[in-house]
Amino acid sequence: MSSLFEEIREPVASDVPVRRVSITVNGEKRTADVEPRLLLAHLLRQGLGLTGTHTGCDTSNCGACTVLFDGKAIKSCTMLAVQADGHEVTTVEGLAGPSELHPIQEGFKDEHGLQCGFCTPGMMLAAKALLDENPDPTEDEVRWALSGNLCRCTGYQNIVKSVLWAAQKLQSQSAS
Amino acid sequence: MVSRSTHDHKPLIYEVRGGVGESPVRPDGTLKVKGEFAYASDLWLDDALFGVTLRSPHPRARITGIDISGALEIPGVYAVLTHADVPGTKHYGLDHSDQPVLAIDEVRYEGEPVAVLAATDPHTARRAVGRIVVSYEELEPLTDARQAVFDSSVPPIHPDGNVVRNQPIRHGDPDTATAEVVVTAEYEVGMQDQAFLGPESGLAVPAADGGVDLYIATQWLHVDRSQIAACLGLPEEKVRLTLAGVGGAFGAREDLSMQVHACLLALHTGRPVRMMYGREESFFGHVHRHPAWMRYEHGATRDGKLVYVKATIVLDGGAYASTTKAVVGNAASLGAGPYEVPHVSIDAYGARTNNPPCGAMRGFGAVQACFGYESQMDALAEKLGLDPVEFRARNAVSQGSYLPTGQVIDSPAPLAEMLRKAAATPMPAARSTMELGELPGGYGNTTHGEGVRRGVGFGVGIKNICFSEGFDDYSTATVRLELVAGEPVATVHTAAAEVGQGLVTLQGQIVRTELGVEAVTIRPADTSVGSAGSTSASRQSYMSGGAVKAACEAVRAQVATLVGRAEPDIQLTGGKVVSATTGVVADLADVLADGAVEETAVFRHRPTVPLDPFTGQGDSHVQLALCVHRAIVDVDVELGLVKVVELAAVQDVGRIMNRESLEGQIHGGTAQGLGLALMEEIQVTDGRIRNPSFTDYLIPTILDMPPMRLEILEYADPHAPYGLRGAGEPPTLSSTPAIVAAVRAATGLPLRRIPIRPEHITQQ
């Protein structure tokens, strides 16, 4: 049995109950004993070292911690790790292989959809949830889909451009 | 080392891709989209402790006792420190060292750090900090900045008084000037937060030499270091800083937050210490934009020429001085706006109160004044029956105009052209639908748009670029050219903080243009190279760009010497050493075969002088930048809701160094101006912040920020590297008054306070 507490070095008082959870993260099944209060965002960042999931507000407003939960975009700072038991989670690290970029990643990189980059993983995962459901969105649909994710640097113009670019690329890929 | 300030403009050769004027992909782009870019909050070491801060619950109180024994009893707690444990100077500050590292006998704002604690993990640390018992005797807080400045019966909250700076500006003969048309009004600007997305974080690691290494998200490594070293009682060389990934800055990282605290804890425990604020603590952990109260009186002739401007501007700096002095200098010197005014009398004040400390935020001082003078320009235009664009153009500065400080604008200032371009921008289509999503308030709307009115407004801003008023402003760059696997590769090293704006991209572009090599490595920014100055005042393209260019020129001169030529004749391009007269002289690879060429350059902009303390006269600014916005809004006058339909910006940048980065700056700056106009305010009551969260402090979402149209002009500034003009701040100035003007046009209301709230629209 692997214990996440060893990895995150947070000693647990002996009277704190733990729950065993089994979560498929980026395609790989991970099992651990966690405190019921542990947030999914903290499990991902500290327990699994997936620091591409950022925490920016702690109150589910900013969306920097957005991940895919069974394919839907959710804010991992307001979900408990135990709620993810038996489910599939995709983080930014799971968007593409180690030396590859997903078209959404290409879009944000090439269309200048990022500056400081802190919101970027969450933005890309919210965009992926949209494009999985609606491969050919309008600009309005992109804006509505990303309206739960804050960016303080870009004024959002190039984020919209990046997502539309990615939609086109994905469509031309699936056409060929 | 060479030290030079170069203003020459040789023809540039673009034989390699990704040079000046292009938009190559960001060197940090792949890491950022892969989730592998290491922000300060992502750093840890296996044996690192976690540090937390105990903060004052009172805006003003005397500390009568601190009992740390309860905290020390908790297993896993390694240290609890108070001001008594600060080994060096107990106070710090960017301009004036008046802020205690940890409160000494008194707290002056809600959230002031009183003690710091290190424990094995965040949970233990937070639990333990609750066991520190601080006894307070509450005092009546001073929360009215005007009272702090004008009421001499108020006891000072600092030994040296409550007024940090009073800067008058006297130009012409304002005392006797009279005008046919006069408008007078008072304006207020609320306290805005920078609201970067990545809260304050850092990792301090004690070193074998008794010093400390700090990995930190900051805007200014060297001035952090000098403040930290003084507080730690260490020589500067024993305090080494490396820039960690920065999740946005916008001024909030120019002051220290947890830097000294983490280093103190690390040195005290002999263990690495990590600190990371949550969002709520972040609201208490950094300075904000100064709230302002302004009274403006403008006089003009009936045919629309400005005669005089008289203004009083009071800026609330909160508990400590921070950058208030410079904020006051900007508000005063730019307080009449980019207009020719024969007679000017401005008195700007910066106060200390028991409100949250205020300091740097994008466009500081100039942003507040801009709301005042632009509101006045609209009011005057209305009274004169003139078109607001035409009225502004009639009074616009141009090259050769005088500022009220007596400084001549000695580079292009095409404001009239910019105004006319903004006005000529095609209008978006009229709203064709009553679809709820298209209306102000969107699907949360409770009407069917019966009360929706459209308005159009314009705003103009002028901002000083680089550090003003005699500050010794410089940047340092080292450029090394060497063979790697047989190919010439350039390496750039500066201490300039990349905060998202794209400076790492620009450094590579400059090297490619100057040295003709495609492969450029940007070394991490740290304090092992000379200071680059602050990433603020829109200055890094100018200053660190200038330093990298100068270092490249020195490298090129060295290469020229190696091939027996004089530098002016030699260009490096496409891996060749090329003479202007005789063509290719050598392969760069052959020249570098005997060893690397490395040069360090320090770049300074032309000198400036402080404003005269009594008349406000003096050539205080290096460079001035202009931006014009046109805003189109729909306002539901029954609900008080505003939807910005479109924003158009016209900006002169001298030279487009990287169009994508530049446009990103204009978009982002515009969005922050939108926030100040319509939603962003730290609500402070009796010195207490009531909304320290993103639930209650609203920043624009992707639905609030409309599509933008940009027009970018390139009138070169002959004094600046490549003719460029700093660009990050001006859009933040002008978007706010443009939006407010549009809301006024839609509603007919005076709207003299920002941000505009729904009740300002519905209850008048």
Rounded mean pLDDT, B660-687: 98
B166 pLDDT more than 60 = yes
Report CA dihedral (B105, B108, B111, B115) to the nearest 10 degrees.
-20
B2 pLDDT more than 70 = no
Q: Measured between alpha carbons, how far is B617 from B339 in angstroms, rounded to an integer?
A: 17
Q: B195, A117: Cβ pair inside 8 Å?
A: no
Chain B residues whose CB is inside 8 A of the A8 CB are: 121
Tell whether B197 lies on the interface with A, counting CB pairs under 8 A: yes
Residues 6+ apart with CB under 8 A from B685: none
Q: What is the DSSP string of B254-283?
A: SS-SSHHHHHHHHHHHTS-EEEE--HHHHH
CATH superfamily of B40-140+220-235+253-274: Aldehyde oxidase/xanthine dehydrogenase, a/b hammerhead (3.90.1170.50)
Tell whether A160 lies on the interface with B, counting CB pairs under 8 A: yes
Q: And the tokens for B442?
A: 């969107």
Nearest-neighbour CA in chain B from A147: distance (Å): 6
Quote the pLDDT of residue B743: 98
Q: Measured between alpha carbons, how far is A7 from B477 in angstroms, rounded to an integer?
A: 41
Q: Model confidence over B378-397: pLDDT tens digits? A: 999 999 999 999 999 999 99
Q: Please tell me which of the candidates B194, B499, B695 has its beta carbon nearest to residue A61.
A: B695
Rounded mean pLDDT, B321-338: 98
Q: A156, B667: Cβ pair inside 8 Å?
A: yes
Q: And the tokens for B90?
A: 């107990």
Question: Which pairing describes strands A66-69 and A28-34: parallel, antiparallel, or unpaired?
Answer: unpaired
Structural contact between residues B494 and B475, judged by C-beta atoms closer than 8 angstroms: yes
Polymer length of chain B: 764
Q: Please tell me which of the candidates B500, B667, B708 has its beta carbon nearest to residue A117.
A: B500
Q: Measured between alpha carbons, how far is B189 from B179 in angstroms, rounded to an integer?
A: 28
Q: B279, A147: Cβ pair inside 8 Å?
A: no
Residues 6+ apart with CB under 8 A from B256: B92, B224, B227, B228
Distance of CA A59 to the CA centre of its chain: 16
Residue B432, burial from CB neighbour count under 10 angstroms (0-12, 13-18, 19+): exposed
Residues 6+ apart with CB under 8 A from A175: none
B473 pLDDT more than 60 = yes
Q: A101, B33: Cβ pair inside 8 Å?
A: yes
Quote the pLDDT of residue B568: 83
B12 pLDDT more than 60 = no
Chain A residues whose CB is inside 8 A of the B125 CB are: none
Tell whether A30 lies on the interface with B, counting CB pairs under 8 A: no
Q: Which fold has domain B292-468+610-762?
A: Aldehyde Oxidoreductase; domain 4 (3.30.365)
Q: Model confidence over B336-374: pLDDT tens digits? A: 999 999 999 999 999 999 999 999 999 999 999 999 999
Q: Please tell me which of the candidates B29, B35, B668 has its beta carbon nearest to residue A109.
A: B29
Q: A154, B121: Cβ pair inside 8 Å?
A: no
B11 pLDDT more than 70 = no
B4 pLDDT more than 70 = no
In sequence order, the β-bridge partners of residue B571 are B578
Q: Please tell me which of the candidates A112, A114, A152 has its beta carbon nearest to residue B699.
A: A152
B452 pLDDT more than 90 = yes
Nearest residue of chain A to residue B497 (CA atoms) = A116
B693 pLDDT more than 70 = yes
Q: What backbone phi and psi angles, to 5 degrees, belong to A96? A: -155, 165
Structural contact between residues B388 and B381, judged by C-beta atoms closer than 8 angstroms: yes
Q: And the tokens for B757?
A: 């709230």
Rounded mean pLDDT, B321-325: 98
Q: Measured between alpha carbons, how far is B179 from B260 in angstroms, rounded to an integer?
A: 55
Q: Please tell me which of the candidates B246, B279, B670 has its beta carbon nearest to residue A116.
A: B246
Q: B29, A115: Cβ pair inside 8 Å?
A: no
Rounded mean pLDDT, A88-96: 98
Chain B residues whose CB is inside 8 A of the A93 CB are: 34-36
Chain A residues whose CB is inside 8 A of the B248 CB are: 115-116, 118, 152-153
Tell whether B76 lies on the interface with A, counting CB pairs under 8 A: yes
Closest CA to B541 of B608, B471, B475: B475
CATH top class, domain A4-94 = alpha beta
Structural contact between residues B88 and B232, judged by C-beta atoms closer than 8 angstroms: yes
Measure the N-to-C terminal CA separation of chain A; round to a whole number of Å: 45
The segment(s) of chain A belonging to CATH 1.10.150.120 are 103-171
In chain B, the percentage of residues whose pLDDT exceeds 90 is 93
pLDDT band at A155 (very low <50, low <70, confident <90, very high): very high
Q: B693, A64: Cβ pair inside 8 Å?
A: no
For chain A positions 71-130, those within 8 Å of chain B (CB to CB) are 91-93, 96, 101, 105-106, 108-110, 112, 114-121, 124
**Architecture label for domain A103-171:** Orthogonal Bundle (1.10)
Rounded mean pLDDT, B427-451: 84
Tell whether B250 lies on the interface with A, counting CB pairs under 8 A: yes
Q: What is the DSSP string of B614-632?
A: TT--S---SEEEEEEEEEE
- What 3-state DSSP class applies to B688? strand
B639 pLDDT more than 80 = yes
Q: Model confidence over A119-143: pLDDT tens digits? A: 999 999 999 999 999 999 999 999 9
Q: A151, B702: Cβ pair inside 8 Å?
A: yes
- What 3-state DSSP class applies to B73? coil
Quote the pLDDT of residue A14: 60
Quote the pLDDT of residue B763: 77
Q: Which fold has domain B2-34+474-604?
A: Aldehyde Oxidoreductase; domain 4 (3.30.365)
Q: Please tell me which of the candidates B124, B197, B279 has its beta carbon nearest to residue A118.
A: B197
Tell whether B703 lies on the interface with A, counting CB pairs under 8 A: yes
B764 pLDDT more than 90 = no
Chain A residues whose CB is inside 8 A of the B279 CB are: 56-59, 62
Q: A154, B667: Cβ pair inside 8 Å?
A: yes
Q: Please tell me which of the candidates A101, A152, A156 has its beta carbon nearest to residue B197.
A: A152
Quote the pLDDT of residue B359: 98
Chain B residues whose CB is inside 8 A of the A73 CB are: none
Q: A109, B41: Cβ pair inside 8 Å?
A: no
Distance of CA B620 to the CA centre of its chain: 19
Quote the pLDDT of residue B441: 87
Tell whether B18 lies on the interface with A, counting CB pairs under 8 A: no
Q: How many CA atoms lie within 13 A of B715 on its CB side?
A: 17
Chain A residues whose CB is inside 8 A of the B247 CB are: 54, 56, 116-118
Q: Measured between alpha carbons, how far is B658 from B20 in angstroms, rounded to an integer?
A: 7
Q: B248, A116: Cβ pair inside 8 Å?
A: yes
Tell whether B667 lies on the interface with A, counting CB pairs under 8 A: yes
Q: Measured between alpha carbons, how far is B731 from A31 in angstroms, rounded to an integer?
A: 50
Rounded mean pLDDT, B186-196: 98
Chain B residues whose CB is inside 8 A of the A109 CB are: 25-26, 29-30, 32-33
A81: left (phi over 0), alpha (psi -120 to 50) or beta: alpha
Report chain B's mean pLDDT, rounded to a whole number.
96
Tell whether B648 lies on the interface with A, counting CB pairs under 8 A: no
A45 pLDDT more than 60 = yes
Q: Measured between alpha carbons, how far is B370 from B331 in angstroms, rounded to an integer?
A: 9
One-letter amino acid for residue B561 of the chain: T
Tell whether B694 lies on the interface with A, counting CB pairs under 8 A: yes
Q: Please tell me which of the candidates B248, B667, B699 has its beta carbon nearest to residue A118.
A: B248
Tally C-beta pairs within 8 A across A and B.
183
Quote the pLDDT of residue B580: 87
Domains B40-140+220-235+253-274 and B292-468+610-762 share a fold: no
Residues 6+ apart with CB under 8 A from B619: B405, B406, B407, B408, B608, B609
In sequence order, the β-bridge partners of residue A74 are A67
Sketch the domain layout of chain B as residue ranges. 2-34+474-604, 40-140+220-235+253-274, 292-468+610-762
Q: B693, A154: Cβ pair inside 8 Å?
A: no
Rounded mean pLDDT, B466-478: 98
Q: A109, B38: Cβ pair inside 8 Å?
A: no
Q: Please tell me which of the candidates A58, A93, A147 has its beta carbon nearest to residue B701.
A: A147
Q: What is the DSSP string of chain A?
A: --BHHHHHT-PPPTTS--EEEEEEETTEEEEEEE-TT-BHHHIIIIIS--TTS--SSSSSSS-TTEEEETTEEEEGGGSBGGGGTT-EEE-GGGSS-TT---HHHHHHHHTT--SS-SSHHHHHHHHHHHHHH-SS--HHHHHHHTTT---SSSTTHHHHHHHHHHHHHHHHHHH-
Tell whether B237 lies on the interface with A, counting CB pairs under 8 A: no
Chain B residues whose CB is inside 8 A of the A139 CB are: 707
Report chain A's mean pLDDT, rounded to a whole number.
92
Q: Measured between alpha carbons, how far is A155 from B494 in angstroms, rounded to an integer?
A: 28
Question: Which pairing describes strands A66-69 and A88-90: parallel, antiparallel, or unpaired?
Answer: antiparallel
Residues 6+ apart with CB under 8 A from B327: B290, B315, B317, B350, B358, B359, B360, B364, B365
Residues 6+ apart with CB under 8 A from B429: none
What angle (nearest 5°) sits at the alpha carbon of residue A125, between those of residues A121 and A128? 140
Q: How far is CA B40 from CA A88, B43, B245, B465, in A?
A: 28, 6, 5, 28
Task: Count other C-beta atoms under 10 Å from residue B181's C-beta.
Answer: 15
Longest dimension (CA), chain B: 82
Q: Model confidence over B566-615: pLDDT tens digits? A: 878 899 999 999 998 889 999 999 999 999 999 999 999 999 999 999 99
Tell whether B199 lies on the interface with A, counting CB pairs under 8 A: yes
Chain A residues whose CB is inside 8 A of the B26 CB are: 109, 112, 114
Q: Model confidence over B389-436: pLDDT tens digits? A: 999 999 999 999 999 999 999 999 999 999 999 999 999 988 877 788
Measure the N-to-C terminal CA separation of chain B; round to a whole number of Å: 65
pLDDT band at A6 (very low <50, low <70, confident <90, very high): very low
Rounded mean pLDDT, A81-95: 98
Tell whether B499 lies on the interface with A, counting CB pairs under 8 A: yes
